Amino acid sequence: MTDSQLQRLVAQLHEWARELGFQALGITDTQLDLPADRLGAFLEQGRHGSMQWLENHQEKRRHPALLELGTFRVISVRMDYWTDSDAKANLQNQERAYISRYALGRDYHKMMRRRLAQLADKLRAEVESSTLGRAFVDSAPVMEKPLAEKAGIGWQGKHTLIINKKAGSYFFLGEIYTDIPLPIDTPASNHCGTCTACITACPTAAIVAPYELDARRCITYQTIENKGAIDLELRPMMGNRVFGCDDCQLVCPWNKFAQFSENDDFKPRHSLDQSSLAELFLWSENDFLDRTQGSAIRRAGYEGWLRNIAVGLGNGPFTPTVIQALEQRRGFSALLDEHIDWALKRLLE
């Protein structure tokens, strides 16, 4: 294809992406040496905790063409999910459960992957010689954040998430690996400057240095990935955050530019943005399975969900309803009982 044909194809690609509900698209090459070194250091220091899968397929992560033979370019896309402007008020209400805003609605993975696959199909249909167009949404060893930065979607902030100057950081990322030699975009430049708001705001001091996260201290890791007991040191710091945490994003000055999503999939379901901890703690296992169908919250599992809420209740105000709810849940598992004991001791002290 000639340069001008490729340029026209890129313009078309942007249009298709908009039609499919993506808010931005960028293109980059496959050189990832420096970010791969940073990942290596993160793993060497054990900061990934029990997320063993991050240790796997490191070469494929580092070299996209090893994951998908023939990959020459990576297309990175952004999809905004922010729907609630009242997150800070929710977080400050200690009787309410705070659920990370990305998880209030339907899980994004399937929907976004389906749309990305459609985008990949449209692209491949335009170039006869192309045999590759694979879509990923958090589904394979792909370095999505460094790729997004290289593709100009945004820069990796000191909290390690991607930030866009015009859209903040409340968005999901996805990628298409392609063999079409599309022109690449300019990488995003960093605009954190002297700001350290996210480092100061992190409730558990998980951002151990600018651009360095110790996942083991991160509330998102503790409430979702950790299947065992939550570290005693961290429990009082978690407050009412029962599934993920948004604090580093809530304080980021760039999020005053966050765009509201028009995608109905991301609207809060089952009033999860307004539920009390005590109310959610009384969900039966069937309630949990029913109400988290198609939701990211499923990942915590019922026991993990109760464990997290027990910690939230222990950090909240003493009320007879809370004590009764905690007492009522005894006997589900040794893990949960231990967290209930911790919460009751804290409340009755």
For the chain, the farthest-separated pair of C-alpha atoms sits apart, in whole angstroms, at 74
Measured from the CB atom, the residue of 249 and 276 that comes closer to ligand SF4 is 249
- Contact string 181-200 vs ligand SF4 (x = CB under 6 A): -----------x--xxxx--
Q: Does 159 bind ligand SF4 (CB under 6 A)?
A: yes
Q: How many residues does the chain have?
A: 349
Minimal distance, residue 170 CB to ligand SF4, in Å? 12
Q: Does 66 bind ligand SF4 (CB under 6 A)?
A: no
Measured from the CB atom, the residue of 2 and 256 that comes closer to ligand SF4 is 256
Q: Hey, is 135 helix, strand or coil?
A: strand
| Stretch touching ligand SF4 by CB under 6 A, among 24-32, 118-126, 247-255, 269-277 | 247-255
Residue nearest to ligand SF4 (CB): 157
Measured from the CB atom, the residue of 195 and 282 that comes closer to ligand SF4 is 195
Minimal distance, residue 43 CB to ligand SF4, in Å? 23
Contact 1, 130 (CB under 8 A): no
From CA 35, how far away is CA 125, in angstroms rounded? 32
Out of 254, 281, 283, 302, name the contact with ligand SF4 by CB under 6 A.
254
User: In the chain, which ranges are continuous DSSP H helix?
Assistant: 3-19, 33-44, 58-62, 64-67, 87-92, 108-126, 144-150, 197-201, 219-220, 247-250, 277-281, 285-291, 301-315, 320-328, 334-348
Q: Strands 171-178 and 73-80, how do they pair?
A: antiparallel
Contact 276, 93 (CB under 8 A): no
CA-wise closest residue to 102 among 118, 119, 75, 79: 79
Out of 6, 251, 323, 347, name the contact with ligand SF4 by CB under 6 A.
251
132: left (phi over 0), alpha (psi -120 to 50) or beta: beta
Minimal distance, residue 180 CB to ligand SF4, in Å? 33
Q: Does 203 bind ligand SF4 (CB under 6 A)?
A: no
Considering only residues 89-118, where is the footprint of ligand SF4 by CB under 6 A? none
Minimal distance, residue 35 CB to ligand SF4, in Å? 17
Minimal distance, residue 304 CB to ligand SF4, in Å? 28
Q: Could you say which of 29, 138, 185, 341 is catalytic?
A: 138
Minimal distance, residue 24 CB to ligand SF4, in Å? 18
Q: Is 29 a catalytic residue?
A: no
Q: How distant, in Å, are the alpha carbons of 126, 131, 275 from that of 123?
A: 5, 11, 43
**Residue 251, token pair as written in the block:** 């304080």
From CA 47, how far away is CA 52, in angstroms rounded? 11
- Residue 254 gets which letter from DSSP? G
Residues binding ligand SF4: number (CB under 6 A)? 13
Q: At 136, phi and psi to the nearest 5?
A: -130, 135
Measured from the CB atom, the residue of 18 and 166 that comes closer to ligand SF4 is 166
From CA 112, how far away is CA 159, in angstroms rounded? 24
Measured from the CB atom, the residue of 192 and 300 that comes closer to ligand SF4 is 192
Q: Does 157 bind ligand SF4 (CB under 6 A)?
A: yes
Q: Does 224 bind ligand SF4 (CB under 6 A)?
A: no
Minimal distance, residue 248 CB to ligand SF4, in Å? 6
CA-wise closest residue to 262 among 138, 80, 121: 80
Out of 124, 150, 158, 269, name the contact with ligand SF4 by CB under 6 A.
158
Contact 82, 257 (CB under 8 A): no
Q: Which residues are catalytic?
A: 138
Residues of this chain that bind ligand SF4 (CB under 6 A): 157-159, 163, 192, 195-198, 251-254
